Amino acid sequence: MINKTELQQQLAALGAGYRQQLAHELPELLQLLNEPLSDRLRQQLEQRLHKIAGSAGTFGHAELGEQARTLELQCREQDNLSLLHKHLKYGIGHMQRLLDSTQSDQPATPKTPELPGSVMSAASHRIALLVPNNALSAQIGNTLGSFGYQVHLAEQIPVAGDDQQPDYDALIIDLDPLPDARATLQQLAQQQPTQPLPLLAISSDNSFELQLLAVRAGASGFFSKPVDLTALENRLENSLNSHQQSPARVLVVDDDEQLATRYLTVLSAAGMRCEHLQDPTLLLHTMHRFQPDVVLMDINMPSVNGAELARLIRLHDSWLRVPVIYLSAESDSTRQLAALLQAGDDFISKPISDQRLLTSVTARVQRARSISQALSRDSLTGLLKHADIKEQIGLECERALRQQQPLSLIMLDIDHFKRVNDTYGHAAGDNVIRGLANLLRQRLRKLDRIGRYGGEEFVALLPNCAANDAATVIDDIRQSFSQLLFSGPEGTFQCSFSAGIACCAAPDWDATELLERADQQLYAAKHAGRNRVILEQR
């Protein structure tokens, strides 16, 4: 991700290039008006003025763009060709004068958009722990350490300066020992950066006033004592995931290369992965290859319009969740609504400021990801649902076959789970399930696939991983899980799980058979006394 200075330099260079293009474009339009105005010429002028109207404001020439829009509408609505010819000649001449009035060495450039914080790696999160109570500090440290976090004890609130990033990814603070907890929270609220890092607060005072101060300080979690450590870890993980999401993937479909380049520059500077597509015939191929989170679509393009392309995208079930945002200089509200009815999700009129572009795309990506997760993820654990993990097993088996790489599948089941529900209640049982899900997510790789197969049973799919390596990894997770403390009405308790592992390697690549073999090993682990991992011997 580039910094603001570098972005400003890139935008200035693009602005200079656009001004140079206008310096050639406007004399060409005036030259065309030396000929008698025909319907064909009027249509050509309308198209070229439409393009200028949609792009000039983005590059800092707002007044010139408005003049182009006025002339575009006159081309569309004025039937008197003689009168239209006079309006066009005067109007384009006025556009030329507006351009000449800007200094070529200082092209007009809109304000640099506010960029979000950099996307950080999800591995080995650094947690600052400001908890003076040694017993509570040790409990939190041990629990978070089991989940793979790097916990650092802090003697005071670590606050970064305006020009540097803090050396931690989240802060957990116990408010009770502070001389004045309310003053501390007010101080934190005043020192919040543009992109505050996750803050979790702990206190024996759960009053509305203190929780409100915590919210104003940027807290994403508030826990009363005694602290439910599993719930604290779950909130911490959710906060980190929302703060450090993977980069958004944005596909820009626009025949205006300069304008698209500006969009890509602004969005890429914000950490997004972007691609530009000029040839509409490559849309389906690009959608398959790039898998965008959102599509920015120009409506008016040669030989095809954006609404038609949006409908083409909606023919495919796998892309129904991908938002399509129309970008167009079209000012007719009736036409805008008609385009939205044809498979679009939003309509943004050109010109669009850099900040609005960034905000609109970010909001759409967040909403699309939330909807996608709600549809494909288990609500309790956030893991893939039964049908989705089975689909992933089939896909990964096909990939392993093509690449001739090993693939390990692990089935896990929490031991004596019914006893947990009967003894401590279903709420405590849900905490156990959520705790194991979080532990699997933290300790396995990003490329691994994890699903809740049903009830207290889980499936983990490890691509390019030999069976012995998978056994080592999952046994380490088993030991960490058995050390976790869960809270119930009757006090704290611990749990364990059993696991069975099967591996496919040439020539065996059948997904259904792989599941059955892993299930057989899980049954063997249960029969052998539970709390163990059994690997099939082949």
- How would you write the pLDDT of the chain (538 residues) with one tens digit per residue? 566 677 777 777 778 888 888 888 888 888 888 888 888 888 888 888 888 877 777 787 888 888 888 888 888 887 788 888 888 888 888 888 888 877 544 444 455 555 443 333 334 688 888 888 888 888 888 888 877 788 888 877 765 444 455 678 888 999 988 888 888 888 777 776 555 678 899 999 989 999 999 888 888 899 998 888 878 887 887 777 665 566 888 999 988 888 888 888 888 888 888 999 988 889 999 998 888 989 998 887 778 888 889 889 989 887 888 899 888 776 667 777 777 777 778 888 777 888 888 888 888 888 877 777 666 677 788 888 888 888 888 888 888 888 888 889 999 999 999 999 999 898 889 989 988 998 998 888 888 999 999 889 999 999 988 889 999 999 999 999 998 888 877 788 999 999 999 988 655 667 888 889 999 999 999 999 999 999 987 6
- Three-state SS for 518? helix
> What class has domain 386-535?
alpha beta
Q: Where are the alpha helices (DSSP H) in 33-59?
A: 39-55
Quick check: 235 and 216 in contact, CB under 8 A?
no
pLDDT of residue 456: 92
Letter for the amino acid at 82? S
Residues of the chain with CATH 3.40.50.2300: 126-243, 275-364
| pLDDT at position 442 | 83
Nearest to 403, CA basis, from 468, 467, 465: 465
Topology (CATH) of 4-101: Four Helix Bundle (Hemerythrin (Met), subunit A) (1.20.120)
Q: How far is CA 508 from CA 240, 404, 406, 460, 511, in A?
A: 39, 11, 10, 19, 9
Q: Which residues pair with 451 in a beta bridge?
A: 384, 459
> What global pTM score does this model have?
0.52
Q: The dihedral of CA 244, 245, 247, 253: what is its sign?
A: negative
**If we measure between CA atoms, which residue out of 305, 247, 300 comes closest to residue 271?**
247
Rounded Cα distance between 3 and 113, Å, is: 11
Positions marked catalytic:
456
Residues of the chain with CATH 3.30.70.270: 386-535
Task: Look at residue 496 and give its three-state secondary structure.
Answer: coil
Rounded to a whole number of angstroms, the CA Rg of the chain reads: 29
What's the rounded Cα separation, in Å, for the pair 407 and 251? 32
* Residue 117, pLDDT score: 39
Structure tokens at 474: 């999952």
Euclidean distance between CA atoms 1 and 169, whole angstroms: 18
- Angle formed by the axes of helices 39-55 and 62-77, to 10°? 150
Angle 329-334-335 from CA coordinates, rounded to 5°:
45
Q: Which of the listed CATH numbers 3.40.50.10140, 3.40.190.10, 3.30.565.10, 3.40.50.2300 matches domain 126-243?
A: 3.40.50.2300
Task: Return the pLDDT at 534.
Answer: 92
Residues with Cβ within 8 Å of residue 505, at least 6 apart in sequence: 406, 407
Q: In what order do the strands lie in the sheet with 170-174?
A: 150-153, 126-130, 170-174, 199-203, 219-224
Q: Which option is the CATH number for 275-364: 3.30.70.1350, 3.40.50.2300, 3.40.350.10, 3.90.950.20?
A: 3.40.50.2300
Which residue carries 């440290």 as its tokens?
Answer: 141
| pLDDT score, position 475 | 94
Contacts of residue 27, defined as CB under 8 A and 6 or more positions apart, other chains included, come to 96
Q: Give start-end residues of each CATH 1.20.120 domain in the chain.
A: 4-101
